[in-house]
Amino acid sequence: MLKIFKKKRFWIILIIILAVVGFGIYKLASPKPAVEYTTETVKRGKLTQTVSATGQVESAHEITLNFKTPGKITYLGVKEGDNVKAGQDLARIDSGSIAALIKQYQANLASAQANLEKVKAGASVEDIKLTQEQLTKTQNDYNNLVRESKTQVDILKDKTIDSLNNAVFTSQTALNTVYRNLINTETTVSMIVMDIDLQNQVKSDYGILVNNLAALRDEITAAQKSYDQQLIAQASDDVKDFLSRLNSYLDSSFNLTDMIIVNTTYTQTKKDTIKSDISTQQTSNNTSLTAVQTARSNLINTADSYQSQILAAANAVSIAQASLDLKKAGPRSFELASAEAAVAQAQASLDKTRADAEDYVIRAPIDGKITQVNYSLGETTAVAEAAIAMLSNERYEIKVDIPESDIIKLIVGEKVTIDLDAFGSDHPFSGAVTFIDPAQTIIKDVTYYKTTVTFNQDSWSDQIKPGMTANITIIAAEKDNALYIPQRAVKVRETTLGEAPKKYVEVLVNGQAQERDVEIGLRGDEGLVEIIFGLNEGEQVVTYKKDNTK
């Protein structure tokens, strides 16, 4: 036993065992953080988007070529029987609209680039001086508008008060006319009417209206003294209500006059005179009502209009002041990032439009011979009928089913890498997309589109046989120097109905996750996605987090 303790190997093994046990105890005793984050680094490099499918080699057939949209043919470079090379322009349709868009996006890109240089340079002394002058002008415009508003609204207040006082005067005259002709017992002692109830009602309403008119005078006087717009408007509403009631009262009084029984004192002439007097008061009352309504409307509408203008002018002052402060402060990091993102967005729009312009051109996808030309120069094409048909020089093609999620990424003429199981990976073949069927095919409730890929000729072509299994890979899009992250790091915010969903990621900063809005671009292979705006190279985005508190 003592010999074992004296052996060096024994002590080495014992030290290793003690180290492992100690490390295990340390790990068990060490507290875990509340939340553990798994992150990926924001990287920059080449991003590729491919579409893969499997099919079988078939004998080649005629290739039909067409434009994606109808249009007038402006160039036709081939005729039946012509031999053509891959990539050769065969026909074009009018592309004036897309050409104009390309020019527009080129201008947008140039503008964004110029703005980026401007942001980098910061504001010049002249620019700051000009912005200061703009601020002074907006402040002067605001002050002038406030003064003008007060003057014009005060004029309309005076006009409204005048219309109210005039309405009180005409109302008093109307009530006096009714009192003198139909109510005053001294002047109407010989008046006999056919409707006693109506006569009593006219007498009763007269007293109520007289009291109402007295209260209106007090209200108008108070509004005139305060010169407050709301009190003047309220007085106008009350006067309009009173004039409406007075109008009904005058109607009743006119009807009562019609009920007067003609006698030696109340002759037909006197009766007609009373009716004429009351009718005159009805006309005056309606005129007063219209004048009050017009004056109030002009006051409120003008005041509201000036209030909106003043608010807009105040906002203009705030914007001008903020612009001046911003220019004096110089460029900030987020401004540079925003300007750089604008350049990237403008470039992406231009690239997409240039890609769309390819839809206006038919190019030979492979070497071959033209067998059919269905349109003449100047004719308008139709989507349903192929414009040109050709036979390839190659002997074989592959037909594959591409799902609808991938078909939008493909265009006729794109290069294809083909791996045949019979040859293994030792000899990949090349080819091109020569036809995309516009009609869908439903397979197990999934929508597919039949796509034809034709082989390019090489020294191994003679060894290809029909029925061989072929695996194709099409590079649908690629971008150099792209900023990218894993797609699983991108999340979508909850939105209300009709609101565009916004995407964001969580960035790990000093051990804490911070949300950051992002705009994504190209969706690449291996679950990668391009970031156009929102992140910088080298930042850490969260792809998974584990809550250790649960």
Regarding predicted confidence, which is higher, 89 or 241? 241
Distance CA 148, CA 154 (A): 10
Q: Model confidence over 463-486: pLDDT tens digits?
A: 777 778 888 888 878 888 889 999
Q: What is the model's pLDDT at position 260?
A: 93
Q: Determine the pLDDT at residue 22.
A: 62
Q: 548 pLDDT exceeds 80?
A: no
159 falls in which pLDDT band (50, 70, 90)? very high
Q: What are phi and psi of 492, to 5 degrees?
A: -120, 130
Same domain? For 151 and 300 the reply is yes
Higher pLDDT, 515 or 216: 216
Q: Please, which residues bridge with residue 84 across strands?
A: 368
Structural domain count, the chain: 2
pLDDT number for residue 467: 77
- pLDDT bin (cut points 50, 70, 90) of residue 180 is very high
pLDDT digits 0-9 by tens, 82-123: 888 888 888 888 877 788 888 888 899 899 888 887 777 767
**Residue of 278, 167, 161, 277 lying closest to 213 (CA atoms):** 167
Among the candidates 304, 334, 368, a domain finishes at 304
Residue 26 lies in a domain: yes
Residues 156 and 281 in one domain: yes
In a domain, 185, yes or no: yes
Tell me if the pTM is above 0.75: no
Each residue of 237-274: b (16+ CB within 10 Å) or e?
A: ebbbebbeebbebbebbbebbeebeeeeebeeeebeeb
User: Rounded to an integer, what distance in angstroms lies between the CA atom of residue 221 and that of residue 239?
Assistant: 13
Considering the domain boundaries, does residue 386 fall inside one? no
pLDDT score of 146: 94
CA distances for 36 relative to 439, 457, 460, 547, 549, angstroms: 50, 55, 55, 7, 10
d(CA 335, CA 120): 9
In which band, very low, low, confident or very high, does the pLDDT at 360 lie, cut at 50, 70 and 90? Answer: confident
Residue 534 lies in a domain: no
Average the pLDDT over 232-256 and give the result: 94
Q: CA 32 → CA 29, 37, 423, distances in Å?
A: 9, 12, 53
- Residue 328 belongs to some domain of the structure: no
Least confident of 44-58, 273-287, 323-337, 535-549: 323-337
> Which of 253, 272, 304 is a domain's end point?
304
**C-alpha distance across the termini of the chain, in Å:** 51
- Tens of pLDDT, residues 21-72: 665 555 555 555 667 888 889 999 988 888 888 888 876 666 788 887 788 8
Q: Is the domain of 20 the same as that of 151? A: no
Q: Which helix (H) or strand (E) holds 38?
A: strand 35-41
**Phi–psi pair at 184, nearest 5 degrees:** -55, 115
Instruction: Say yes or no to pLDDT of 428 above 90.
Output: no
Give the integer Cα–Cα distance in Å for 44 and 50: 19
The highest-confidence range among 2-6, 231-235, 352-356, 473-477, by mean pLDDT, is 231-235
Q: What domain range is 11 assigned to?
A: 2-30
* DSSP-derived secondary structure letter, 182: I
At 201, the pLDDT band (50, 70, 90 cuts) reads: very high
How many helices, marked H, and strands, marked E, lie in the chain? 9, 20
What does the pLDDT look like over 293-314, one tens digit per residue? 999 999 999 999 999 999 999 9
Among 253, 273, 304, where does a domain finish?
Answer: 304
pLDDT beyond 60 at 1:
no
Domain assignment present for residue 337? The answer is no
Tell whether 232 is covered by a domain: yes
Average pLDDT over residues 166-178: 94
pLDDT of residue 204: 94
Residue 252 main-chain phi, psi, to 5 deg: -65, -40
Q: By CB neighbour count within 10 A (0-12 exposed, 13-18 middle, 19+ buried), where does 106 fall?
A: middle
Q: Would you say residue 388 has pLDDT above 60? A: yes
Say if 101 falls within a structural domain.
no
Domain holding 234: CATH number? 1.20.120
Tell me how far apart the alpha carbons of residues 184 and 197 are, in angstroms, rounded to a whole number. Answer: 17
3-state DSSP helix/strand/coil percent for the chain, to nearest 5?
A: 50, 25, 25
Task: Tell me the pLDDT of the chain averaged across its residues.
Answer: 85
